[in-house]
Amino acid sequence: MNQKILVLSEKHGSKLKNVTIEALTAAKQMKKQAGRIVALCLGTYTEDQIKQLAEYGADQVIIAEDESLNVFTTDTYTDVLYQVIKEENPDIILMGHTGEGKDLAPRVAARLGIGLISDVTAINFENGEIIFTRPIYSGKAFQKKKVIEGKTFATIRPNNIPMEEPDLTRTVDATYISTKIYHNRINVNEIVQKATEGIDLSEAKIVISGGRGMKGQEGFILLKELATVLGGAVGASRGACDADYCDYSLQIGQTGKIVTPDLYIACGISGAIQHVAGMSNSKMIIAINKDSEAPIFSIADYGIVGDVFEVVPALIEAFRSVKM
């Protein structure tokens, strides 16, 4: 029987999420010679988005174009994803370890009666077997897992599987399917865009994060300026969110978002274990803190002991002059 890999596509506004492209890249690595990668789209997708899925590796695109799927709800997406998996019977199912993925994957796995490997940060192959790496103990250690029997189901942490270049010559025909929605206990009346509009914090390559050391909302305006110059997104510690310096949607850490950008700049953040749990896998960490003993320095690649209100404006000026 030919191998089939199903990848659940996600969008952010009009663009495919990077994690969807990363999941397609992972699928390509796992694909056997006669294997097929099927991208599943829930809701309306444009021709451009379908073409992009093909360019990044989808051999087939299935679209469940029910209008009610244009807005994510746990019930509707679970129903539809479950039906498609039953119908398509893929060997491997991949999706992003995003808000949606974290919500959906365990429910669908439970309905199917199969296991789930969540929050995968790397995929390797040993003796022809797929080995998934995932962080445990808030990122302090890594666990390697493989599936012994049955379907493989995994969620991929954003920003960890390097995206491959698209093959612009590839195209694919979309298959439109109708699905039944059995349960829906939620009506979404309105979606309010919060402070994270622009670059999606979980997918940002550069994150400028502020803590209680930023002293107030004005401090975060400074961070926004640095983020704009560098093309990054602003994040925060819970200390800063609790103090109402910024919105909770920016919170990074154990009870906030988990980020793994190429560059994380921590400004006026002490480095509490709960914060570190959300950012310690960043590829490079720069910490700015006036306390040379602050724990954040123990995980930083570069540390600047200084006042954020002197260092951050100097960085903005320096990066601006480099860009000009």
The answer to the question of residue 217 lying near ligand FAD (CB under 6 A) is: no
Distance CA 316, CA 313 (A): 5
Q: Among 133, 274, 299, 320, indicate the residue that binds ligand FAD (CB under 6 A).
A: 274
Size of the site for ligand FAD (CB under 6 A): 27
Residue 98 in the binding site for ligand FAD (CB under 6 A): no
Q: Least distance to ligand FAD from the beta carbon of 175, Å?
A: 41
Judged by CB under 6 A, the stretch of 37-45, 86-94, 173-181, 284-292 that binds ligand FAD is: 284-292
User: Is 244 a binder of ligand FAD (CB under 6 A)?
Assistant: no
- Residues facing 219 on adjacent strands: none
Q: Which stretch binds ligand FAD (CB under 6 A): 22-30, 160-168, 172-180, 305-313?
A: 305-313
Q: Does 253 bind ligand FAD (CB under 6 A)?
A: yes
- Please give the residue whose beta carbon sits closest to ligand FAD in the complex: 253
Q: Which of 94, 269, 286, 287 binds ligand FAD (CB under 6 A)?
A: 269
Tell me the window of 5-13, 142-150, 169-177, 247-255 that interacts with ligand FAD (CB under 6 A): 247-255
Residue pair 40/59 in contact (Cβ under 8 Å)? The answer is no
Q: Does the protein bind ligand FAD through residue 270 (CB under 6 A)?
A: yes
If you count them, how many residues does the chain have? 324
309 near ligand FAD (CB under 6 A): yes
Q: What sign has the CA pseudo-torsion 11, 16, 18, 21?
A: positive
Q: Are 248 and 257 in contact (CB under 8 A)?
A: no
Does 274 carry a binding-site annotation? Answer: yes
The nearest distance, CB 258 to ligand FAD, in angstroms, is 9
Q: Give the range of 53-61, 122-130, 200-208, 266-274 binding ligand FAD by CB under 6 A.
A: 266-274
Buried b (16+ CB within 10 A) or exposed e, 147-181: beeebbbbbbbbbbbeeeebeeeeebebeebebeb
> Binding site annotation covers 275?
yes
Is 33 assigned a ligand-binding role in the annotation?
no
Between CA 298 and CA 26 the distance in angstroms is: 33
Which residue intervals of 126-254 are DSSP H helices? 217-230, 238-242
Among 213, 235, 261, 303, binds ligand FAD (CB under 6 A): 213
C-alpha–C-alpha distance, residues 246 and 105, integer Å: 30
Of 131 and 305, CB closest to ligand FAD: 305
- Lookup result for tokens 């174009």: 65
Q: Give the closest residue to 224 by CA, choosing from 204, 203, 242.
A: 204
Strands (E), the chain: 4-8, 11-12, 15-16, 36-42, 60-64, 92-96, 117-120, 122-126, 129-136, 141-145, 152-156, 174-177, 206-210, 233-236, 263-267, 284-289, 302-305
Separation of alpha carbons 195 and 223, rounded Å: 13
Q: List residues forming the annotated binding site for FAD.
A: 212, 237-238, 251-255, 268-275, 289
Q: List residues forming the annotated binding site.
A: 212, 237-238, 251-255, 268-275, 289
Applying CB under 6 A, the residues found at the interface with ligand FAD are 211-213, 237-240, 251, 253-256, 268-270, 272, 274-275, 278, 288-291, 294, 307-309
